[in-house]
């Protein structure tokens, strides 16, 4: 009987994947990472890709991944954090990433950010930093997870110039014509759980073929019910909204997105 139950459970196997979260930042919020992982597993979230944002956080999440098999790691430096580092410090971090390449599944979170007008004067430096990380991802044959706030076209042009193939555009907030360009390049868009209410992300889902979609939470940010903090267990809201918009069952959405993950990461 026990075996039968197990077999039935496997037949009905749900595997939700959060391809972009920062559960390390829950520690600062006083939230237990252990409980957060337990809650994710209870809710069928079997994989969480935690994205690094700077050398300190990269060290923390590498340790988390060594402790929990459900946690996968992307290492990188967030564009605004990279601006605070010297070239030497960035190169040192790249060396550390290469040394730990067997423990990571992707490079990220990296990208360009022009959220404020005054950041435009840092664009060349940001592009130089991003170039290093994209080339690193290409040389390690791993996907790169990209932040492109208010710099979507610059980011896409640079990725095209560098001939990047394995790309996830995370929380993409650019024009719909750029969504077409992303999918024509064979890249992926990861849809955050706040697509539950956010019209921009709902439009992105409408515009993107199912084959190019992944799901994320960006924990602790972007809670699907506007609460704080977010957690990977909430990634189900992305799946539900994608299923609704595409007119398919939740099961079909889960299966396809799991296949998309495998296509890109394996
Ligand atoms: Zn992020």
List average pLDDT for each run of 10 residues in the chain, which is 266 residues long. Answer: 62 85 94 95 97 98 94 98 98 98 97 97 98 98 98 98 98 98 98 98 98 98 97 98 98 96 96
Whole-model pTM?
0.95
Q: Taking ligand 1, which is a single-atom ion, which protein residues have CB atoms under 5 Å away?
A: 109, 218
Cα of 5 from ligand 1 centre, angstroms? 38
| Residue 222, helix vs strand vs coil | coil
Q: What are phi and psi of 20, to 5 degrees?
A: -155, 105
- Distance separating alpha carbons of residues 115 and 98, to the nearest angstrom: 30
Report how far ligand 1's centroid is from the alpha carbon of 3 (Å): 40
How far does residue 251's CA lie from ligand 1's centre (Å)? 27
Beta bridge partners of residue 47, listed in sequence order: 17
171 Cα: distance to centroid of ligand 1 (angstroms): 8
Counted residue by residue, the chain has a size of: 266
Give the integer Cα–Cα distance in Å for 172 and 209.
Answer: 15
Cis preceding-peptide flag for 229 (omega within 30 of 0): yes
Q: How many angstroms does the Cα of residue 113 sit away from the middle of ligand 1?
A: 12
Ligand 1 geometric centre to CA of 216 (Å):
9
Task: Give residue 14's pLDDT.
Answer: 82
Residues near 65 by beta carbon (within 8 Å), at least 6 away in sequence: 50, 71, 72, 73, 103, 104
Residues 50/75, Cβ–Cβ less than 8 Å: no
């Amino acid at each position: 009987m026990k075996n039968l139950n197990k077999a039935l459970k496997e037949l009905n196997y749900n595997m939700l994947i959060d391809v972009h979260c920062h559960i390390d930042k829950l520690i600062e919020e006083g939230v237990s990472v252990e409980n957060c992982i337990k809650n994710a597993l209870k809710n069928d979230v079997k994989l969480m890709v935690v994205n690094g944002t700077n050398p300190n956080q990269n060290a923390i999440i590498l340790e988390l991944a060594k402790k929990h098999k459900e946690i996968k790691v992307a290492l990188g430096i967030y564009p605004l954090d990279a601006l605070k580092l010297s070239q030497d410090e960035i190169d040192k971090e790249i060396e550390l990433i290469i040394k730990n390449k067997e423990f990571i599944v992707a490079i990220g979170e990296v990208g360009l950010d022009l959220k404020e007008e005054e950041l435009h004067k840092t664009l060349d430096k940001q592009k130089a930093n991003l170039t290093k990380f994209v080339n690193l991802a290409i040389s390690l044959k791993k996907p790169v997870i990209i932040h492109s706030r208010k710099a979507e076209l610059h980011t896409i042009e640079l990725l095209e110039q560098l001939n990047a193939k394995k790309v996830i555009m995370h929380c993409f907030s650019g024009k719909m014509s750029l969504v077409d360009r992303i999918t024509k390049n064979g890249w992926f868009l990861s849809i955050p759980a706040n697509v539950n209410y956010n019209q921009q992300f709902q439009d992105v889902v409408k515009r993107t073929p199912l084959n190019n979609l992944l799901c994320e939470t960006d924990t602790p940010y972007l809670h699907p019910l506007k609460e704080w903090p977010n957690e990977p267990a909430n990634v189900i809201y992305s799946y539900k909204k994608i299923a609704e918009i595409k007119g398919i069952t939740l099961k079909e959405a889960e299966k396809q997105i799991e296949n998309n993950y495998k296509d890109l990461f394996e």
